[in-house]
Structure 1
Amino acid sequence: MSAFADITTGGASTGNRVTNAIAMASRRTGVDFSYLLGQAKIESSLNPTARATTSSATGLYQFIDQSWLAVIDKHGSEYGLGWASDAISQSSNGRYHVANPELRQQILDLRKHPETASVMAAQHAADNKAYLEQRLDREAEPVDLYLAHFLGVGGASKFLSVHDRAPGATAASLFPAAARANRSIFYDPSGQPRSFADIRDRFASKLEKSSGGLGGDVQYASATLPSGAKTVQPADYVRIETQRLSEQVDVGIRPQPQTARLAYLMLATLGR
């Protein structure tokens, strides 16, 4: 069982906890809040324990096993998860391994922990953003980050390079494997191939629609929004959650006492 599997955060509902986690990850990494929220809605409908039926994809952001081990190996130590990153090794073929099966499962189960999943997704997006901006010589927009999630960062770089030069060109011929696996994305209902601009615009629309609402009111007994505010903004989520966490004596985690300290370090790091 994951060290974080049973973490509780006061009386907050699952939905509130998820949006708080995403806002804190956004502030910590600088990755756009709306993008992270939209991606989580698309991938898991904001369900922290979502599991794909056709792959190992799990959690808010549907990381597969190898992708998760890779991002924990790279960034885990920055968030109090050095015990996890230290246990991960990479073989000559590029695959990631954890020698201890029980520890490996604990690390993979962190995908179900909203705070960890959100900040690792944000760090992964930040890495992709830096890569794309270096290759494209322009700012990467949220839709570009989602294309990196969909095609891989190398594929997205290739896609966007052509898009920026010839947006009206058809994309299927450049990505035949992706087009075969995702026909509705690369072809319209009549069977005509979509252009690079069409595909990017459709992804942008989908992402904008998914990030358009926060899915319910957020209520806290001892925290209030700024005077006159009608909606909760990312900064409000961060402020309220940081305030609530600072007022808690401890963060309850079972089954091992030492895991409480690990989780507290994780949350404290996010709140910086």
Structure 2
Amino acid sequence: MSSASLQNRDENVRTAIGRAAARTGVDFTYLLNQAKSESGLDPRARASGSSATGLYQFIDQSWLGVVKQHGAKHGLGWAADAIEQRGGRWTVDPAYREAVFALREQAGPAALMAGEFASDNAEGLSRALGRQPSSTDLYFAHFLGLEGATRFLKAADASPDSPAAAAFPKEARANRTIFYTRTGDARSLAQVYALMARKIGDDGAPAAEPGTLSPTPPEMPAGEPRLAHIEEALGGPTEGEADIGGMLAAMREMGRIDLLRPDPQHAKLAYLMLASAPLA
């Protein structure tokens, strides 16, 4: 990618994150630093050893869960309705699967869902810890899940010098660079916390205040069109941007498409229009 293309991508990402911060009440700097740490601001980043994808490296189950819970209020009702829980796991209607997961590679939807995820975690951590969580606390919730973050933070308060890997062996095996130094020494709970604080650029300020979140308009955040990326993510060539808008306008006029609840054959088209909406 050329330097000009990279700069344009980063500007679009920052714009999307700014809108997400305003709509979810989560601190812009926290969301920006998290995206830098997780993906280097690459909306299409993929982890080699897991399903983690996108700006915020959501794994499949986390992505489906947050879209199910919060998608509808951001204009993604069709995606939320395609997701259900079976046997304790989130599943998605096969007809919508590609479109639902392709959203994860778009800066606007990914940033919105990261903001919603962070605000949910802020409320959960506030209740569990009896204090307002910092940016680092929230980053632990993204990293370990709400329950894991609560256990880690309470353990770090009680025994900061204890080796973190002993308390979190599974996580340590999957994230050796976090739990161990380059020479193989185990980091303490306090050292792991400090490392994560550096990664997220935490200045000690709260990233989100439970109960004071901004109301969210029921629409998809407008983002810069990224039709080339959408084409690759969803498969097959797409129509030109103007043609897509014209087709959808005509179909909507005829009552053939509900953009928030499209049928399977129109899901891709509805997604393309939402993703290519002009900047507001």
Q: TM-score, normalised by structure 1?
A: 0.72
Q: Which among 65, 87, 96 is matched to residue 90 of structure 2?
A: 96
Q: Which of 195, 208, 231 is the matching residue for 2:188?
A: 195
* Offset at residue 165 of structure 1 (A): 2.3
Matched position secondary structure for 1:53: coil
Gaps of 5+ in 2: 1-6, 203-220, 225-240, 249-258, 260-269
Cα distance change of structure 1 residues 27 and 177 upon mapping to structure 2, 3 Å threshold: same
1:150 aligns to 2:161 (yes or no): no
Q: CA deviation at 1:69?
A: 1.0
Q: CA deviation at 1:136?
A: 0.5
Query: Which of 102, 108, 118 is equivalent to 1:115?
Result: 108
Map 1:158-173 to 2 at 5 A. Answer: 158-173=151-166
Letter in 2 for 1:172: A
Contact kept in structure 2, 1:55 and 1:64, CA below 8 Å: yes
Q: 2:32 & 2:24 partners in 1: Cα distance? A: 14
Question: In structure 2, what residue type is equivalent to 1:42?
Answer: S
Q: Secondary structure at the match of 1:13?
A: helix
Aligned twin of 2:170: 177
Which residue is equivalent to 1:225?
A: none
Is residue 122 of structure 2 the alignment partner of residue 129 of structure 1? yes
Contact 1:253 1:260 in 2 (8 A): no
- Structure 1 residue ranges without an equivalent (≥5): 1-11, 210-241, 246-250
Instruction: Please report the TM-score for the alignment, with normalisation by the length of structure 2.
Output: 0.70
CA spacing shift, 1:267–1:148, aligned 2, 3 Å:
farther
In 1, distance between residues paired with 2:83 and 2:45? 24
Pair 84,200 (structure 1): closer, same or farther in 2 beyond 3 Å? same
Report the CA distance shift for 1:253/1:180 in structure 2 as closer, same or farther (over 3 A): farther
Q: Secondary structure at the match of 2:201?
A: helix
- State how far apart, in whole Å, the 2-side matches of 1:18 and 1:42 are: 14
Higher relative contact order (CA 8 A, sep 6+): 1
Q: Give percent identity, aligned residues only.
A: 45
SS in 1 for 2:186: coil
Local SS of the residue matching 1:138 = coil
Listed one character per residue, the Cα deviations across residues 247-266 of structure 1 (whole Å, up to 9, x for unaligned) are: xxxx8684862638962898
Runs of 4+ in 1 over 6 A off after TM superposition: 242-245, 264-268
Distance 1:170-1:260 versus aligned 2 partners, 3 A rule: closer
Match of 1:36 among 31, 34, 37: 31
Inter-CA distance 170–252: structure 2 relative to 1 (3 Å threshold)? farther
| 1:75 counterpart letter in structure 2 | H
CA 243–94 in structure 1, closer or farther in 2 if over 3 Å, else same: closer
Matched, 1:51 2:62: no
- Measure how far apart 1:56 and its partner are: 2.1
Distance of 2:136 and 2:29 partners within structure 1: 11
Q: Which residue pairs with 1:69 in the alignment?
A: 64
The answer for the alignment partner of 2:99 in structure 1 is 106
Aligned residues: 219
